[in-house]
Structure 1
Amino acid sequence: MSDAKNDVLRTELEAAAFRRLLRHLDENKQVQNIDLMELAGFCRNCLAKWYAAEAQERGVAMDYEQARERVYGMPYAEWKEKYQTPR
């Protein structure tokens, strides 16, 4: 397989893994961001920041709130109201 095909395949696999991670997080809303931060050193908000940064590096207009909506699957305020538990 050529290097170009390998690069395309790698990108497709990484994208699929990212979508699966988002789906997994969506299916496990009971896992709070603070839990993720304490155990893994990142959370949904980190993913959104990374997503927005990568978009901006590629000249795609996307702010943090738009990226959070992509990661959370809904506006953050709505997710927070529905799923965030008090600490």
Structure 2
Amino acid sequence: MDKQQQTELEAAAFRRLVKHLDDRKDVQNIDLMILAGFCRNCLSKWYKAAADEQGLELSYEDACQQVYGMPYAEWKAKHQKKASPEQLAAFEATQKPK
């Protein structure tokens, strides 16, 4: 596999991950953080960082739009639920040094 093919496969995998997350709006960011240590916001930040590394101008809001499929504020209003005490406790437990 050459470098271009690798890049194309990585891009396709990223698009598939974003689509999967879009199809699973029921999965909250806090759940992702608890289980995987990253969430949609992390993907947005990584997307922006990649643009920065390439010298491309991209705002964080535009990066969020790529990951969420809409402005983050709109996604949050439509799909984000308030974290339960159990979710907050589980998240806090993942933040403590081991």
TM-score, length of structure 2 as denominator length: 0.82
Partner of 2:87: none
Partner of 2:38: 42
Provide the rounded CA distance (Å) in 2 between the counterparts of 1:57 and 1:15. Answer: 16
**Share of identical aligned residues, percent?**
64
Q: Structure 1 stretches of 5 or more lacking a match?
A: none
Q: CA deviation at 1:63?
A: 1.4
The count of residues paired between Structure 1 and Structure 2 equals: 83
1:81 aligns with 2:73: no
Partner of 1:15: 11
For residues 10-61 of structure 1, give each alpha carbon's deviation from its aligned partner in whole angstroms, at most 9, with x where no partner exists.
Answer: 0000000000000000000000000000000000000000000110111100
Query: In the alignment, residue 49 of structure 1 is paired with which amino acid?
Result: K
Which 4+ runs in 1 deviate beyond 6 A? none
Partner of 2:94: none
User: RMSD over aligned Cα, in angstroms?
Assistant: 0.8
Q: CA deviation at 1:77?
A: 0.5
Structural mapping, 1:19-34, within 5 Å: 19-34=15-30
Question: Which structure is higher in RCO with an 8 Å CA cutoff and minimum separation 6?
Answer: 2
TM-score, length of structure 1 as denominator length: 0.92
